[in-house]
Copies of this chain bind each other. A is one copy, B any other.
Amino acid sequence: MYKPDNTDWKIIELLNEDGRMGKTEIARRIGGISARTVTNRINVLIKEGVINIRAFINPESVGYGVMADVYIQVEPGRVREVAEQVAEFPQTSYVACATGESDVSASLRLRSIEELFQFVDEKLGKIPGVRRTLSYILPLKLKDIDTWMPPHVLDENEKDKS
């Protein structure tokens, strides 16, 4: 497992704010590092699976304003198989296998409550092995995976500042 060093983390933080920031700008902001090294390190971080750099879409901004969590109970022995089928629907923005009451947890993004209802009843409900679906609409999202930074790195930063 590749272990990012301090300089890597500085690059990652800048790219987390602006994924298209130029290599020269990054080098300038960090200091004591060449633009070429910046490019090399970004390539390593991507190749080692530490980061992805992507444009990702804000669903509200393109009309998908209804968010919901769906908890799916599945026939025992078919959890993974069902999860894979749920993940194929573009209506799901997040899919995981779970422990406890729910076997598969999914997040949905839809244009209206009616569309949500139809999708759950007519699509999810008809996947073989699905036994029950419970949908809960989410009125407010405060945070998502795109801005996640490892707590121990943030702690280091705090220390550096003080």
Chain A residues with a Cβ under 8 A of chain B: 1-4, 12, 15-20, 42, 45, 48-59, 61-64, 66-69, 73, 75-80, 83-84, 86-87, 89-102, 105, 107, 109, 113-114, 116-117, 121-122, 124-126, 130-151, 154
The DSSP consensus for interface residues of chain A is mixed
Q: Is the CB of B125 within 8 A of A139?
A: no
- Specify which chain B residues have a CB less than 8 angstroms from the CB of A134 in the assembled complex: 99-101
- Specify which chain B residues have a CB less than 8 angstroms from the CB of A67 in the assembled complex: 96
A154-B56 in contact given A77-B126, A113-B66, A142-B95 (Cβ < 8 Å): no
- Within 8 Å by CB of A59, from B48, B57, B116, B148, lies B148
- Specify which chain B residues have a CB less than 8 angstroms from the CB of A20 in the assembled complex: 19-20, 42, 53
Query: How long is the Cα–Cα vector from A143 to B96 in the complex, in angstroms?
Result: 7
Q: Is the CB of B66 within 8 A of A57?
A: no
Q: Is the CB of A54 within 8 A of B16?
A: yes
14 further interface pairs, Cβ-Cβ under 8 Å (given A20-B20, A94-B143, A97-B117): A12-B55, A15-B54, A16-B57, A19-B19, A52-B55, A54-B146, A57-B149, A69-B98, A73-B132, A84-B142, A97-B140, A99-B136, A99-B138, A109-B148
